[in-house]
A = this chain, B = another copy of it.
């Protein structure tokens, strides 16, 4: 039972502070969804703009998961378009609970609905959550860690699906031809600037209708301080 005491104000103050922090959540290392970055200068004569986007932590959901989290028959509503046509950041967010009973709140769901549920975190997030994240290509979830998502309607137990996304570049036919690579190849990505960094082993992912776009995570984006990058170069191995 709560009793009144001279410490009441102090306690109230602490709780208010904690509630504010709760809303703020743990270190949020960037936007809560990939955003369309400005193209960088780089590979001369490339057929498409050279876009590097940082994927902050996010979630993809199946309809089954969405129903459990937001109520039966729910659908995702669009907050804003992402760089790839048809992809969008939704207005829906969930809390992720990990094995150390730590939570990352307000993680954005990216649409459209997929046929699997997947959480993409950085290694920084993984250490906080107590999860030894496997590095995977999106959708390749066999044997990956489980977790619990919490939505306003209810919880959803993921049996698998928490990963660090492998750094990758989306390419269409014109890009593959220009760079002389094929789906599944690996390339080097050189980021020039004050924190110049070369990311080796950038996976090529082919799709006929995709725009050229390189996806790195927040650890990688912050390691090379992408915001201050002056130039990039994709190099065939």
Contact = CB atoms under 8 A, between A and B. Distances in A.
Interface in A5-20: 8, 15, 18-20
Given A101-B20, A102-B21, A127 B28 contact: yes
A79 B1 CA distance: 39
B197 A197 contact: yes
A103 B195 contact: no
Q: How many copies does the complex hold?
A: 2
A218 interface: yes
Contact of A128 (B28, B197, B223): B28
A15 B14 CA distance: 10
Interface in A164-206: 167, 194-201
Interface in A190-237: 194-201, 218-220, 222-225
Interface residues of A, number: 42
A26 B218 CA distance: 16
Interface stretch (A61-69, A108-116, A118-126): A118-126
A137 interface: no
A135 B195 contact: yes
A74 interface: no
A223 B197 contact: yes
B195 A197 contact: no
Contacts of A124: 27, 29, 124, 218-219, 222
Given A15-B18, A27-B124, A197 B196 contact: no
Contacts of A196: 200-201
A30 interface: yes
